[in-house]
Structure 1
Amino acid sequence: MATEQAEDKQVVLVTGGGRGIGSAIARALATPKRLIYIHYGTSEVAAKTLADELNSSGRPARTIAADLFDPASCQQLISDIVAQEGKLDILVNNAGITRDQLAVRMGDTDYDDVIQVNQKAPFIIMREAAKSMMRQRWGRIINISSIVGLMGNAGQINYAASKAAVIAMTKSLALELAARNVTVNCIAPGFIETDMTSELSEEIRQIYRQTIPLRRFGRPEDIAALASFLVSDEAGYITAQTISVDGGINR
């Protein structure tokens, strides 16, 4: 039985929704007619702060915890939402990790952890979410990949493999769900102003800027704007696509 808060509302899940790109997407998708579930793994305070912000502005939001290193927890994440609300309309697989190292120095654990969180967890979450969306014959799934999944990058063989897999999974699942009016698309961000890029020295940031035709880093809101469009009715004829938001790097 859907909660009173979710009645006549679209139910949305954003994984890793408390910080960075995830929080920007949660804000962009939040409206009085949607109930936003903000998933967190370790960033509980950030997730709850964002939920409070959205609720105070009349945009319903809740937080939900799940350990993406644990396949059972990934499955439970969706089953808990569907049990509580009766459905899941929109899924944004945003959460991810890095464990950067040159391939010849990379340990198995660093490789396996990235594959688990960045590839297997999204697979399990999509698989379970798709069951609800197929029943209602409507749904939107957005996966956040990376231009590294399209181009590769030294020191990120694990991350590149995981993000390339996300792109391939997007295409495959889109074909499986199209007949049920469920679209599946992927966004591949480039260099975006987040906590991760803010730790780079100005010298390194300038080097990276020179590789970007627009000569600047993107903002989380740039990704969120595209996500907002892809979940809309206007994007109903777009599926199985990977769209780069990178200032022109991937061309």
Structure 2
Amino acid sequence: MTVAIVTGASTGIGRSVAVALGRRKCHVVVVSRSDDDGNRETLAEVEAAGGSGVQITADVGTSSGVARVFAAADGEPRFLINNAGRNVATPFRHWAEGDWDEMYRTNLRSVALMSQRFVTRLESSGGTATGAIVNVSSIRGLDGASTGDTAAYSAAKAGVISLTGALAKELAPSVTVNCVTPGYVRTAYLAQTSREQRRAWLGSVPIARFIEPHEVADAILFLLDHRALTGANLVIDGGWRMAAA
């Protein structure tokens, strides 16, 4: 039985990844910061897909939260999907110190802390155990893609891309570390934006539609499967970068 941990799994991309792993008969640790109901719904879908799992609410931007997640894991995790994230749009001049700290903790520090514990746990199992980590960034973390109102989020997501490369070098050959960088994905966050904003975003995407969560999940599973790939950043943006250039 393959044990996989998915953070930010109560909705959207994280839920799609968890369910896809369930179809592969994995035991999935479903994690979110505070969404108990969403976690339960995800776990029900994982089990309906043929997998098993456990759900836990924990702040993976803290060492204590990370410890709770790994204590809940039934068996030795082999896959880690660092999907937890949060975006707050605020004019740059209005960003407060706490806002910067929140974006860093949720989007970047969580990736570092979860990956560190994952590797420690993997190494403690002895032998020649192998594993795979996939981190989720954002197009706002790409060079030239940040805006003033997403400055803190963009900086943290750029950090995820950079951290991915550093960990890929450090953890080879036993652990592969890759990144996916989605564009505009049809999630609850997207649904909360105004119709005018969605229309503007859609107009910037050459494929003329938003990315579906399951399409990002497919890319994540691809990276989990291929041990010849490490340090890669797979951008899934529907051609947005091409149009923006």
Q: Same fold (TM over 0.5)?
A: yes
Deviation at 1:58, TM superposition (A): 2.7
Confirm or deny that 1:184 pairs with 2:177. yes
Structure 2: runs of 5+ lacking an equivalent: none
The letter for the 1-side match of 2:27 is L
Alpha-carbon distance in structure 2 between the residues aligned to 1:57 and 1:140: 22
The letter for the 1-side match of 2:227 is G
Alignment of 1:68-107 (within 5 A): 68-81=60-73, 84-85=74-75, 87-107=76-96
**Aligned to 1:148, which of 140, 145, 150?**
140
**Aligned to 1:31, which of 23, 32, 48?**
23
The letter for the 1-side match of 2:82 is N
Alignment of 1:197-212 (within 5 A): 197-212=190-205
Point out the more displaced range, 70-79 or 217-226.
70-79
Alpha-carbon distance in structure 2 between the residues aligned to 1:68 and 1:91: 13
Alpha-carbon distance in structure 2 between the residues aligned to 1:34 and 1:223: 18
Deviation at 1:147, TM superposition (A): 0.5
Alignment of 1:39-50 (within 5 A): 39-50=31-42
Structure 1: runs of 5+ lacking an equivalent: 1-8
The letter for the 2-side match of 1:121 is S
Conservation of the 8 A alpha-carbon contact between 2:103 and 2:153: yes
TM-score, normalising length from structure 2?
Answer: 0.91
**Corresponding position of 2:3:** 11
**Aligned to 2:56, which of 54, 64, 67?**
64
Alpha-carbon distance in structure 1 between the residues aligned to 2:178 and 2:241: 17
**Corresponding position of 2:167:** 173
**Residue-pair matches, total:** 237
**Aligned to 1:213, which of 203, 206, 211?**
206
Point out the more displaced range, 204-213 or 185-194.
204-213
**Aligned to 2:109, which of 115, 120, 136?**
120
Deviation at 1:69, TM superposition (A): 4.4
SS in 1 for 2:28: strand
Deviation at 1:57, TM superposition (A): 4.1
Alpha-carbon distance in structure 2 between the residues aligned to 1:106 and 1:246: 27
Deviation at 1:71, TM superposition (A): 2.7
Conservation of the 8 A alpha-carbon contact between 2:135 and 2:180: yes
**Corresponding position of 1:244:** 235
Deviation at 1:80, TM superposition (A): 4.1
The letter for the 2-side match of 1:213 is P
Alpha-carbon distance in structure 2 between the residues aligned to 1:104 and 1:172: 32
1:83-132 CA-to-partner distances (Å, cap 9, x unmatched) read x41x1100000011122212211111011111011111110100010123
TM-score, normalising length from structure 1?
Answer: 0.89
